[in-house]
A and B are shown apart, each in its own frame.
Chain A
């Protein structure tokens, strides 16, 4: 799994790890856009870091729905310097989404699935960028399209 430095084109190996209590002390709205602390109770939180480094470049909150064999991406963001035109690294969100897909694959034997609830105006954009499938109000990935995402970002 790697991200790409937009300026140099250099690939950096990254890993996604659980967020600890001490990590949360460093997570603020200025750099990570949203209030993450309340999600610690209801979600599994993960951070994306360059291998061997400490700086958090992306965050994601997951909710598992075992009865539906589904993992929901409740919230996800790249850090502020990795958003928009002048972003430093590319592929952070894709790597996090693919990690969620891999989690679902490990958790659910038969029909693993990931889903997200998009803002209405962004729905088609997620379909275009990540080949997500229209599930009505929500978007999802399962079976071979889920594997496409994993292979694109994790292998």
Chain B
């Protein structure tokens, strides 16, 4: 069925595919609609199981992590340890519980969180499995890679340390 919308004949499907047209309600009607919506939302929230809430938290974290990776702008405070901490929180685990879940020592967890230890491939795969595949290992890898790239680009101490091992460096003009 064709409908007239601002001089453009469109089917209902075509409208929904392309727009949200305005609906005229009085202030009272809108208030009533808002109260009604709040009621529907409360019923839904009250019925939401713990598993669904946890899945929501993990999916939120995945979005934050992937958006951050896509910026390709590493921020030192948003390192692997930061996101691991967010993950443990979203998974509603204590550090000790998480360490047991993924079979690593609790000290390792502390060191990862405090940026004193770097993750290995096994941990990234275990994180994917632990999250029920909600956060893929490749996201953790890309985060780690971003951090590594930042270190390689900016570390003066590493350059000083490695300079001692290089002889006859090329004298190239900039």
Contacts and interface: CB of A to CB of B under 8 A. Distances in A.
Contact of A78 (B6, B19, B22, B38): B19
Contact of A33 (B8, B13, B17, B45): B8
Given A117-B23, A135-B41, A82 B53 contact: no
B52 interface: yes
B34 A68 contact: yes
Contacts of B14: 83-85
Q: Chain B contact residues: over half helix, strand or loop, or mixed?
A: helix
B53 A143 contact: yes
Interface in B1-49: 5-6, 8, 10, 12-23, 25, 29-30, 32-34, 36-41, 44-45, 48
A121 B5 CA distance: 13
Contact of B41 (A78, A113, A118, A144): A113
A122 B12 CA distance: 6
Interface string A60-86: 000001001010011111101011110
A133 B48 CA distance: 14
Bin chain A's interface residue count. Answer: 35 or more
B152 interface: no
A140 B16 contact: no
B36 A136 contact: yes
B36 A137 contact: yes
A45 interface: no
B63 A154 contact: yes
A26 interface: no
Query: Chain B interface: which size bin?
Result: 35 or more
A115 B19 contact: no
List the 10 closest A-B pairs by CB distance, nearest first. Answer: A136-B36, A137-B33, A76-B20, A135-B37, A125-B16, A147-B59, A78-B18, A77-B19, A83-B18, A135-B40
A133 B7 CA distance: 30
A140 B10 contact: no
A117 B55 contact: no
B155 to A, nearest CB: 32
Interface in B52-86: 52-53, 55-56, 59-60, 62-63, 66
B59 A119 contact: no
A125 B20 contact: no
Given A33-B19, A136-B37, A154-B63, 13 more contacts: A33-B21, A76-B20, A78-B18, A102-B63, A118-B23, A125-B12, A133-B40, A133-B44, A136-B39, A138-B33, A138-B37, A142-B41, A150-B63
